[in-house]
Amino acid sequence: MLSSLSDLPLRKQHGPKIAVLTAYDYPTGRMLDEAGIDLILVGDSLGMVVHGLPDTTGVTMDMMLIHTASVCRGVKRAPVIADLPFQSYRTPEEAVMNSKRLMECGASAVKLEGGVGMLPQVRAIIDSGIPFVGHIGMLPQSVKEEGGYKKKGKTSEQIDRLIADAQALDQAGAVAMVLESIVPDVATQITAMVKASTIGIGAGMGTDGQVLVTPDILGSFPWFRPPFAKARADVAGETLRAVREYLAEVRA
Ligand code: KIV
């Protein structure tokens, strides 16, 4: 069980693999912590699975602050990583200011999407003393520019760009980086090249750890689940059953 980000290099070297899940509220944060999860991510995926938005581009700093504070109130041990939402890090100054606001809510680190193109922001965050987690590969905040969610690492040009992004974030001092929807061999290659811990999602099993969106594994968001996320419970089914049972009892 991780209790500090400073344990990450040891875990990368000696294992076991790092298990990460998302949380957006107090009870989920508290339960993940009590279950022994290594790291908790307050992901901007909350835009879809909590707020019903079509993608993450509608997520605001105000939303991230409320959810980060709620999660952190429930967590005693696991480091909490908070996402910087779309357009909250347009300049290095804005990135640092918004990172500080998330840290004041109790986060242990912040994450933003991008590689070489985000280096000024990444360096400014790290220089201000805030632990930083990168996110490369498929970038959900760029869904509109990209015209959809597309796997990365399929062409030699994409592979070169992914490697350059990973190395840039690593040299800047990222403690970890999410590798999202990357061809597995490329994710494994990046993992071997960088000091930072790689946390994969839809990127095969060769990374240092894995992250999933908690409602996907709980089956609590039944309207969409990515193919790589195995539902390990049927919370939606149980909710429908309990509500229907209550309805019948009240109406009887
Ligand atoms: O927002 C999120 O939940 C994420 C994960 C998918 C890595 O960034």
- For residue 41, the model assigns a pLDDT of 98
What integer is the mean pLDDT of 78-99?
Answer: 98
Where in the chain are the domains? 5-212
Which tokens go with 231?
């539902």
Task: Indicate whether residue 22 lines ligand 1 (CB < 6 A).
Answer: yes
Mean pLDDT value across the chain: 97
Task: Indicate whether residue 114 lines ligand 1 (CB < 6 A).
Answer: no
What integer is the mean pLDDT of 191-209?
Answer: 98
Nearest 5°: CA angle at 134, between 76 and 63? 60
Which tokens go with 71?
């999660």
For residue 180, indicate whether it is catalytic: yes
Which tokens go with 96?
């640092």
Q: Measured from the CA of 213, which atom of ligand 1 is nearest?
A: 3
What tens digit of pLDDT does each residue of 105-145 get?
Answer: 999 999 999 999 999 999 999 999 999 999 999 999 999 99
What tens digit of pLDDT does each residue of 19-31 get?
Answer: 999 999 999 999 9
The SS3 assignment for 137 reads: strand
44 C-alpha to ligand 1 centroid (Å): 6
Ligand 1 atom 4, closest CA: 43
* Annotation: CATH topology of 5-212: TIM Barrel (3.20.20)
Q: pLDDT category, 1, cuts 50, 70, 90?
A: confident
What integer is the mean pLDDT of 193-198?
Answer: 98
Task: Indicate whether residue 45 lines ligand 1 (CB < 6 A).
Answer: yes
How far is Cα 98 from Cα 102, in angstroms, rounded to an integer?
6
Ligand 1 atom 3, closest CA: 43
How far is Cα 176 from Cα 182, in angstroms, rounded to an integer?
16
Give the bridge partners for 22, in sequence order.
41
Task: Indicate whether residue 200 lines ligand 1 (CB < 6 A).
Answer: no
Task: Indicate whether residue 113 lines ligand 1 (CB < 6 A).
Answer: no
